[in-house]
Amino acid sequence: MAQFLFITDLDNTLVGDDAAMKQLNAKLLHHRDTYGTQIVYSTGRSRTSYEALYQEKGLIPPDAVVNGVGTALYIGEQEKPHTPWSERLQEGWDRDRIQAITAHFSDLTPQPASEQNPFKISFFLSPEIAPTLVPELERQLKAAGFTVTIIYSGSLDLDILPIQANKGLAMSYLQELWQVPSNTTVACGDSGNDRAFFERQDERGIIVGNAMQELLEWHHANPSPHRYLAQASYAAGILEGLNHFGLI
């Protein structure tokens, strides 16, 4: 047994089965106390929405949290986003100018302020309009010199993010910061935006048994000995995967 970097998505990965999560949390806490294992949450949730879940589910205090699909990183108990990460995201990003371009699209409905951050511009968009609007938005942003990431998910949410903002790059940043090799990092997820965890190097990947079709299809099309698809769902699937890799 040795130290590792544990990084997990929250909704429908760590969170979903309270009893299994309790069991997993006890093991993780023990591992952190004994070996110095780091525990990181990486979620699409905004800070506000994450804090509500943290209270509601009694999550264990993490060593870091990545919010808004990689757009904000919080280390330890710090209340402000980690500046060096924000500086990386700033490259090629101009929130005001990007927002001005989105104003050409009347079908984009801004999400509440709690869902926005300096590196995330979020809208609601209906699935009927998305297939024509998204490519045109992409074209206009490109024409203005912006290479950004546009994510349309859940047939509702449209997020515009800096190109460097994703769960995988935020994970790599933490590996660098804490000097943890990729082969002692384990990342867990259930949906499309978690793919960024699994596309990097030789990180150990755990896909929970209840994963969404979009991730399962990609997993089967891109097999890797470093990635494990659990039989069990949610936190029980994570436990199964940690055992599979001999980490706990």
Q: According to CB under 5 A, which one of 37, 46, 191, 233 is a site residue for Mg ion? A: 191
Each residue of 203-217: b (16+ CB within 10 Å) or e? bbbbbbbbbeeebee
Interacting span for Mg ion (CB under 5 A) from 8-16, 30-38, 154-162, 197-205 = 8-16
The reply to whether 190 sits near Mg ion by the rule CB under 5 A is yes
The reply to whether 8 sits near Mg ion by the rule CB under 5 A is no
Helix or strand holding residue 198 (H, E): helix 195-198
- What tokens does 54 get? 């943290």
Q: Count residues contacting Mg ion (CB under 5 A)?
A: 6
Q: Which is nearer to Mg ion, 9 or 17 (CB)?
A: 9
Under DSSP, is residue 158 helix (H, G, I), strand (E, B) or coil?
strand
Name residue, tokens 């699937």.
Answer: 237
Residue 200: strand pairing partners: none
The reply to whether 17 sits near Mg ion by the rule CB under 5 A is no
The reply to whether 107 sits near Mg ion by the rule CB under 5 A is no
The reply to whether 12 sits near Mg ion by the rule CB under 5 A is yes
Amino acid present at 88 = R
Other Cβ atoms within 10 Å of 151 Cβ, number: 20
The reply to whether 9 sits near Mg ion by the rule CB under 5 A is yes
The reply to whether 11 sits near Mg ion by the rule CB under 5 A is yes
The reply to whether 42 sits near Mg ion by the rule CB under 5 A is no
Q: Which is nearer to Mg ion, 158 or 211 (CB)?
A: 211
CB 8 within 8 A of CB 238: yes
Name residue, tokens 């706990």.
Answer: 248
Interface with Mg ion (CB under 5 A): 9, 11-13, 190-191
